Amino acid sequence: MSDKVRYYLEQSVPELEDLKVKGLFDKNEITMIMRRRTDFEHRITGRGSRPRDYIKYSEFEQNLEKLRKKRYNRLKEFIDTKPSLSDWAGVRRIMFILDRGTKKFPGDIQLWNTYLKFAKQNGAIKAIYKIYSRLLQLQPRNIDAWLSAAKYEFETNGNAKGTRLLFQRGLRLNPESEKLWLNYAQFELTYIAKLLARKELGKILQVEHEMELPEAPDIEELPDVEEASPALRGDIVLAIFEACIEKLGLGETEKFLDVIDQFDMDKNYLYSNILKYIQENYPDDIRTKYIDTTLPLRYNDIQLAVNKCLAYNDKELTNMFINKLRQIKGNEKIESIIQSIIRKLN
């Protein structure tokens, strides 16, 4: 047995003794646990170790921890429930195994995902931040890692500023990533939607408060409407769009519009400013004409779209517009109208 294996096994002895004293595992079970740990330690410290060995080791320890908790809940009326080493040693040990694994195999995504998943399941907030920090330093080109970190920061911690900084850092290192640009815009739109919902709730609560309804909850302090209006209109989203187009080109416009379409809000300000930007910067590009022509379809104004197409009087644009019309799905009446329009355009 190597000194390293012996050292790691000796570290677990007090925990196993505590489990035995509490009556959660008997002598034979303790011996089996130590035998399994010895086997796993030899595997992960050997020359032929693989990332999968660390994952298997962590799975064994997670199952062991589940069994400990199950027995503890079943026997807690008959055993000493005073907090002791075995109450937290299992989680700490699993984290340590996965930490060692990511250090030995820093490029293995499954190991990192397993590590993050376990840390999140156990609410290890400080550890989660450290894991993401290491992961992003070691794999700065890993777009999914940036998105995962941003999602955790926004959805779990509710930290919009921190989320914004993550997207900006990720894009400085990966300015060619369409996925990052579109997700950044989606985050900002989600944030706007939340602010608008809170503002609307604030109005409702204010009315209830003024009516002196019983048990009205305290009104949460909301951003001043005038101060927040540029952000609420979507100016940050427009800035992201412009920066993305400068990096990746005009072809990203429709994808940005598709992202905006997902949100139930007044989108006219965003639509009109996006169109204005591409008309000013790419006035002769067929794609600009196509966006101008098809934009009314996004708010169901087919007649305006047709009029724009006819006004351009461009055969290539007409063919592109017809293909777009063929993608529209609806009831029998709508599809009949679409077919009639296509026949006239042809």
Q: What is the pLDDT of residues 158-192, one digit of tens each?
A: 999 999 999 999 999 999 999 999 999 999 999 99
Is 63 within a domain?
Answer: yes
Spell out the residues 6+ positions from residue 190 whose beta carbon is closer than 8 angstroms to its own. 154, 263
Q: What is the rounded CA–CA span in Å between residue 53 and residue 56?
A: 5
Query: What mean pLDDT comes out for the span 219-242?
Result: 68
At 221 the pLDDT is: 42
Q: How confident is the model at residue 205 (pLDDT cuts 50, 70, 90)?
A: low
Is 159 within a domain?
Answer: yes
Check whether residue 202 and residue 171 sit in a common domain: yes
Spell out the residues 6+ positions from residue 31 whose beta carbon is closer than 8 angstroms to its own. none
Q: Helix (H, G, I), strand (E, B), or coil: what is residue 35?
A: helix
Average pLDDT value over all residues in the chain: 90
Q: Is the pLDDT of residue 235 over 90?
A: yes
Last residue of a domain, one of 193, 218, 248: 248
Rounded alpha-carbon distances, angstroms, from residue 186 to 189, 190, 241, 260 = 5, 6, 11, 8
Rounded alpha-carbon distances, angstroms, from residue 283 to 239, 280, 286 = 19, 6, 9
Q: Is the pLDDT of residue 217 over 90?
A: no
Is 325 within a domain?
Answer: no
At 204 the pLDDT is: 55
- How many domains are contained in the chain? 2
Check whether residue 223 and residue 200 sit in a common domain: yes
Check whether residue 134 and residue 175 sit in a common domain: no
Check whether residue 183 and residue 161 sit in a common domain: yes
Is 303 within a domain?
Answer: no
Check whether residue 225 and residue 164 sit in a common domain: yes
Q: How confident is the model at residue 265 (pLDDT cuts 50, 70, 90)?
A: confident
What pTM value is reported for the model?
A: 0.86
At 216 the pLDDT is: 33
Spell out the residues 6+ positions from residue 344 whose beta carbon is closer than 8 angstroms to its own. none
Check whether residue 72 and residue 36 sit in a common domain: yes
Model confidence pLDDT, tens digit, residues 111-131: 999 999 999 999 999 999 999
CB atoms within 10 A of CB 44: 20
CB atoms within 10 A of CB 159: 14
Q: Is the pLDDT of residue 226 over 50?
A: no
Q: What is the rounded CA–CA span in Å between residue 89 and residue 95?
A: 10
Spell out the residues 6+ positions from residue 171 whose beta carbon is closer than 8 angstroms to its own. 177, 180, 181, 184
Angle at the Cα of 41 from the Cα atoms of 38 and 42, rounded to 5 degrees: 85
Residue 150 has phi, psi (to 5 degrees) of: -65, -40
Candidates 306, 195, 211, 192; CA nearest to 259 is 192
At 330 the pLDDT is: 79
Is 285 within a domain?
Answer: no
Q: How confident is the model at residue 3 (pLDDT cuts 50, 70, 90)?
A: confident
Query: What mean pLDDT comes out for the span 295-320?
Result: 94
Q: What is the rounded CA–CA span in Å between residue 305 and residue 319?
A: 14
At 200 the pLDDT is: 67
Q: What is the rounded CA–CA span in Å between residue 35 and residue 30?
A: 9
Q: How confident is the model at residue 151 (pLDDT cuts 50, 70, 90)?
A: very high
Query: What mean pLDDT comes out for the span 235-252?
Result: 96
Structural element, H or E, at residue 342: helix 332-345
Q: Is the pLDDT of residue 238 over 50?
A: yes
Check whether residue 132 and residue 231 sit in a common domain: no
Check whether residue 158 and residue 102 sit in a common domain: no
Contact indicator for 153, 159 with CB cutoff of 8 Å: yes
Is 346 within a domain?
Answer: no
Model confidence pLDDT, tens digit, residues 43-92: 999 889 999 999 999 999 999 999 999 999 999 888 888 999 999 999 99
Check whether residue 73 and residue 129 sit in a common domain: yes
Candidates 89, 90, 144; CA nearest to 116 is 144
Q: Considering just the CA atoms, what is the radius of gyration of the chain in Å?
A: 29
What percent of the chain stands above pLDDT 90?
A: 79
- Pairwise pLDDT comparison (131 vs 264), residue with the higher score: 131
Rounded alpha-carbon distances, angstroms, from residue 16 to 65, 92, 122, 133 = 12, 14, 21, 33
Check whether residue 34 and residue 132 sit in a common domain: yes
Is 277 within a domain?
Answer: no
Q: What is the rounded CA–CA span in Å between residue 18 and residue 85?
A: 7
Domain range spanning residue 133? 3-78+88-139
Contact indicator for 232, 192 with CB cutoff of 8 Å: yes
Q: What is the rounded CA–CA span in Å between residue 11 and residue 89?
A: 10
Check whether residue 103 and residue 160 sit in a common domain: no
Q: Is the pLDDT of residue 223 over 50?
A: no
Check whether residue 133 and residue 189 sit in a common domain: no
Is 273 within a domain?
Answer: no
Last residue of a domain, one of 121, 139, 157: 139
